[in-house]
Structure 1
């Protein structure tokens, strides 16, 4: 979930609550991840992160799981964020590999285990080497899967065979973190998605997954094909945050401009996104 800001760049608390309700009640999201990179976590304060968790939990109640991003490249700071998220009502944690500092795999494992030990919340690991430089090796996954609270993975490697290998070998629940691969990942046993595009096409994604679950793979593929232009506009023209905030603005939904160093979408991109989303009005498969 993106983090809505006011025109002056402050946290938009009412907008955060309204967007959370929209994502659950209108887009069909059964979980919300807050304070992740898509939520501009590098530019929000610890106090803002706590406020976001509290606001979203209050807004959606028991209609959705609320998972809080709580991992930085500082393990001690991350433990504090995890504890604060638990106290604010989060139902789980999303923990990304320590970025920039490039620890060894033993350091990666110790980082995750230390944070997982700090609360009673279930943990989803986040493997995204294109952003963090360092990924999670097979042996590290095997070690971490033995921790009682580490139960899932958000996989943004784009490496579906590796994800399948780890999933089969460890029993960890896998969620696709690359929107362009949502259906392909689901078809190989991943159980869901942690999606950026679901801000705007969540209802359509649910229809696609339902079709696949019902055995109508032709319909699922047709929906996936129809979603491709919107997915590409949202995910292939720069940071997804920028595109999604532009798409939300086109629909009159809370979002606001991103905080620097991210800039708002250029007019041409904003027009492209608005047009691609408009093309997804009610269709026979929706």
Structure 2
């Protein structure tokens, strides 16, 4: 009923090895050319984005830490360098190099209306650029979860005309006004100077924000509250209630001491 043909050796078509290798080589060569071209284009694009063609006019260090921002302005003249905190001031229309690092955990620098995010990593410096095309204030925020007060780690970028920016820089270089015998300064020295700096006074602490020209700032507690005498007094008296976990302790200062330090700091402009 069933018939099976005997199995013989199958005839195999001859293979032209040279032709196959030639076509494989052509395919590899074409792919290599496209990949190399794509790599060169990508590297050139990243380089042009990462560093504007215009020579930088301004370089600023920003150091993230739980939960505030230390800021240092560089100059070709070391005597014209200074520090501030929680606020960047830049001139309009000028590319600004921002050098980013962290003192404790990973943070991330982000000004949504001016640029993308960039991580701030301990013992490493990452570089980003800001360039604003109009005068105004822009909110920045830490965009990498960094602990209990991550959501309250904000800052402000204030964009000024070049003339106003130059005048602001000159003001920052001026020492604090007032007498060394001012009782308010003496209270500050006794209660606050271990952690904070005020240029032109013996206060030289580095654990907390630099408070030189504090009265010029728009916010306190790293963007948490508007800078008003009432808010500052509340902050000094209730740091752990307002922003739990911050390193600034509640010192149990007398109301008269708080009033004196508040009026002194608000007068630093």
Shorter-chain TM-score above 0.5: no
TM-score (norm: length of structure 2): 0.26
TM-score (norm: length of structure 1): 0.25
Rg comparison, structure with higher value: 2
Between Structure 1 and Structure 2, the one with more helix by share is 1
Between Structure 1 and Structure 2, the one with more strand by share is 2
Task: Answer 1 or 2: higher relative contact order, Cα 8 Å, separation at least 6.
Answer: 1
